[in-house]
Amino acid sequence: MKINRLPLGSYAANCYIVMDDKTKEALVIDPGAEASVVDDEIKRMGAKVKYIFLTHGHLDHIGAVSELKKLTNASVCINEEDEKAIKKGGYVFGEVKNFGEADIYLKDGDEFGVGDMHIKCIETPGHSKGGMCFLIKNVVFTGDTIFEGSIGRTDFEGGDFNTLIKSIKTKLLTLPEDTVILPGHGNESRIDYEKMYNPFL
């Protein structure tokens, strides 16, 4: 498995290209801006993108979805609650023109195959109603649910502090302690580190 991180846009939101080494099949997680940069990296890797997975619907995570879908013909996947917020024009949620339409609605426990990779979907509401994390082997992509030493904001539409803490404690901190956390902003972490040092937990 090869993972490339691209901090994109004015908020330096992490976009990840995750590729199976053997088959070159791949998924893109949270293309928030600069679709051409993401596409150039996809081509450099020789990746065949099957899915675009979205951890949530905020503009800094979905801004390049529509353009990247046209370039890759990949299926766009998001939780239905956040697509509703996008279509409603909710504050900090992306505009429809930057998003288009989802091909697949993600739910807790959904599983996908990309090459030899197995992806498990984990619902983690709290930063937004439809927040999702994605577990691949010993790596969890957490969007804005949890960061190194911090957690996502809960003062946006659909956010709720208690819900977020519950999501983190019941869905993420129960993962093996050596699970690597790849967040939507900033540097990677691990479950054991966050259990020990995250002041919100």
Confidence of residue 97 (pLDDT cuts 50, 70, 90): confident
What 3-state DSSP class applies to 148? coil
Question: What is the pLDDT at residue 98?
Answer: 87
The predicted-structure confidence for 20-57, as pLDDT tens digits, reads as follows 999 999 999 999 999 999 999 999 999 999 999 999 99
Res 100 pLDDT > 90: no
- Dump pLDDT digits (tens) for 159-185: 999 999 999 999 999 999 999 999 999
Beta strands in the chain (DSSP E): 2-8, 13-19, 25-29, 48-53, 75-78, 104-105, 111-114, 117-123, 132-136, 139-143, 146-147, 150-151, 180-183, 189-190
Instruction: List strand residue ranges (DSSP E) for 90-191, in order.
Output: 104-105, 111-114, 117-123, 132-136, 139-143, 146-147, 150-151, 180-183, 189-190
Domain extents in the chain: 2-197
Residue 91 binned pLDDT confidence (cut-offs 50, 70, 90): confident
Instruction: Give the mean pLDDT of 72-92.
Output: 94
| CATH assignment of 2-197, among 3.60.15.10, 3.90.79.10, 3.30.428.10, 3.30.70.20 | 3.60.15.10
pLDDT value of position 104: 98
**What mean pLDDT, rounded, does the chain reach?**
97
Q: Which pTM value belongs to this model?
A: 0.97
